[in-house]
Structure 1
Amino acid sequence: MVSCSELQDAPSLPDGSLALVTNSSEAQSWPQFSMETYSKNLKSSMLGHTLLYAEVATSTMDLLQGLTLHLPKDVGLIAIAGRQIQGRGRGGNAWLSPPGCAMFTLSLQVALSSRLGQRIPFLQHLVALAVVEAVRSLPGYQDLDLRVKWPNDIYYGSLMKLGGVLVTSTVIGSTFHLLIGCGFNVTNSNPTVCINDLIQQHNAQQGCSLPPLCCAQIIARSVSFLEALICSFQQGGPDAVLPTYYKRWLHSGTRVRLWSEDGVEAEVVGLDHNGFLQVHNKEQGVVSVEPDGNSFDMLKNLVVIKQR
């Protein structure tokens, strides 16, 4: 790792080595990403401080797969792509990732003995919440109807998906080694809608002039909010974050059918202390539905087994 000035002073490198320039001025010329904007909006103490950017990648998960097991705990590595050609979704689904979609994978280590380590399914909820908070906490943007959909999606209102979260984990010794993948539409109107479409619509309806947002800004703010949410969870457990989560989620009081359109009718209660969805029905009382393998079909109000 060398600075730009060091590379100019000592341009010859040992055979077989490649310079990783840590402060290249070329970073400002990327069409889909501004390093200056990212740095200005990043308020975390560790997460996201070591950045690997690629204009085109298969997926940001691929960039970090296998690498994170060998990293020190305090590196805070994040991979960001301007475009993905093999973006990953939950359950083996593909995620379309055109330019203008914010796409990143964040490396994180969590001790199994910690509060979050004992309830690791909560992490995907915290990531989705962090993205929503990153936008709605901006002055003037608080009325944009961005929401969290259980277990791992970012929605506009109740019917339009803007993004999602995918978390993979490996346990080595007493530590979770996690890759947090996230993608959400910022400036790309296709294949659905994007955050800037919502801002434009809000401006027209309210007669205001909120400026559009960019990927670098929202990614940096999302990482910052995620670190704060993780810190709160580690200190106070689920009760420290659930009030904010419920403020932003879609499901309070929703009546659903379990497993099929003819299944048992139940009412959504909330999340239990493992991050599983709690529903109440007359036959069984309150039961929990784990996020791994299940999905929430908003169009049919169904909690169903995730199709692969």
Structure 2
Amino acid sequence: MLMFVLYLVSGRGRNSWLSPPGCAMFTVGVQIKLSSRLGQRIPFLQHLAALAIVEAVRTLPGYQDIDLRVKWPNDIYYSNLTKLGGVLVTSTVMGQTFYLLVGCGVNVTNSNPTLCINDLIQEYNTQNSCSLEPLSCSLLIARSLNCLEDLISCFQQGGADAVLPTFYRRWLHTGTQVRLWSEEGPEAQVVGLDDNGFLQVYSKDQGLVSVEPDGNSFDMLKNLVVMKQH
């Protein structure tokens, strides 16, 4: 069940979200039963929300080659080059239900301070001699909510296997080399997401492990902290 609400959101840790004109900022309230498939794997909701924004653009006819990507754990990127937006999920449990707020922000029509979706569309038009229309914030938000609802429904019906092929097709990290613990730590290779939605890597020394980012210094998977070994 999705419920659209207005809510003030901030970034991870002490980071702030800036919202210049042309940046689509919205929060949607989601209620998930603890006993449901997604309720048992609630960290996946953050991934579904990020994927929904990417799919909102790339499933539009003609826009499938606009190179939006998901960067773990909560960012929207142009290829592996520039951050365009992000997702933040907060949750409360009451009774047998998760009550979650999914905050999203993405640059749609604002070229500053970095880059926006319409810049990518304009560049694509120039390179391919075509005339895709620029997107509006309202269209991006509406399509993102529809995609999120569809992804949640798919997960509830078929579990993670129902959405992971699409997720991996859109994310940046398959085969990426990372360091565990610190910049001088052991090397590992990104494998995918584990059963709970955490990042999974393979290390020769430790085998298959699930990891989390090292605080707010997290930069393109540079430093990861080991959580558990399989």
Shorter-chain TM-score range: over 0.9
Q: 1:169 aligns with which of 88, 91, 94?
A: 91
Higher relative contact order (CA 8 A, sep 6+): 2
Alignment match, 2:4:
77
Aligned to 2:6, the other structure's residue is in SS state strand
Instruction: State the SS of the aligned residue for 2:169.
Output: helix
Q: Structure 1's 93 and 294: CA in aligned 2 closer, same or farther, altered over 3 A?
A: closer
List structure 1 runs of 4+ shifted beyond 3 angstroms. Answer: 290-296
Output the CA distance in 1 between the equivalents of 2:154 and 2:197: 15
Match of 1:252 in 2: 174
2:202 is aligned with what amino acid?
Answer: H
In the alignment, which of 165, 187, 202 is matched to residue 243 of structure 1?
165
Work out the CA distance in 2 between the residues paired with 1:178 and 1:141: 30
Partner of 1:9 in structure 2? none
Relative to structure 1, is the Cα distance of residues 243 and 294 closer, same or farther in structure 2, using a 3 angstrom cutoff? farther
Distance in 1 between the 2:184 and 2:173 partners? 20
C-alpha distance in 2, partners of 1:263/1:292?
13
- Contact map agreement 1:255 1:265 (CA 8 A) in 2: yes
- Measured against aligned partners, the alpha-carbon deviations of 1:213-249 in whole angstroms (never above 9, x if no partner) come to 0000010000000000000101111111000000000
Query: Which structure is larger by alpha-carbon Rg, 1 or 2?
Result: 1
Contact 1:87-1:97 at 8 Å conserved across structures: no
Query: Hey, which of these two has a bigger chunk of strand by percent?
Result: 2
Partner amino acid, structure 1, of 2:94: I
| Letter matched to residue 162 of structure 1 | L
The reply on whether 1:181 has 2:103 as its aligned counterpart is: yes
Aligned to 1:195: 117
Aligned counterparts of 2:110 and 2:150: Cα–Cα separation in 1: 28
Does the aligned pair in 1 maintain the 2:31–2:99 contact within 8 Å?
yes
Instruction: Give the equivalent residue in structure 1 for 2:146.
Output: 224
For the 8 Å contact 2:49–2:87, the answer to whether it is kept is yes
Aligned AA (1:79): L
- Residue 121 of structure 1 is matched in structure 2 by 43
Q: 1:192, CA displacement in angstroms?
A: 0.6
Please say if residues 178 and 223 of structure 2, whose CA atoms lie closer than 8 Å, have aligned partners that are also in contact. Answer: yes
Structure 2: distance between partners of 1:271 and 1:158: 19
Please report the TM-score for the alignment, with normalisation by the length of structure 2: 0.93
Distance of 1:275 and 1:290 partners within structure 2: 11
Change (3 A) 1:252 1:225: same
The separation in 2 between residues aligned to 1:181 and 1:273, in whole angstroms, is 24
Residue in 2 that maps onto 1:110:
32
Q: Distance in 2 between matches of 1:257 and 1:137?
A: 34
Q: Deviations over 1:100-159 (max 9, x none)?
A: 000001011111111111111100000000000000001111101100000111000102
Q: What residue in structure 2 maps to residue 302 of structure 1?
A: 222
Give the percent of matched residue pairs that are identical in Structure 1 and Structure 2: 72
TM-score for the superposition, normalised by structure 1: 0.70
Gaps of 5+ in 1: 1-45, 48-75, 81-85
Aligned position for 1:145: 67
Q: 2: CA distance between counterparts of 1:295 and 1:180?
A: 23
Q: CA deviation at 1:290?
A: 3.7
* CA distance in 1 between partners of 2:32 and 2:4 (Å): 14
Cα deviation 1:15-58 (Å, max 9, x = unaligned): xxxxxxxxxxxxxxxxxxxxxxxxxxxxxxx63xxxxxxxxxxx
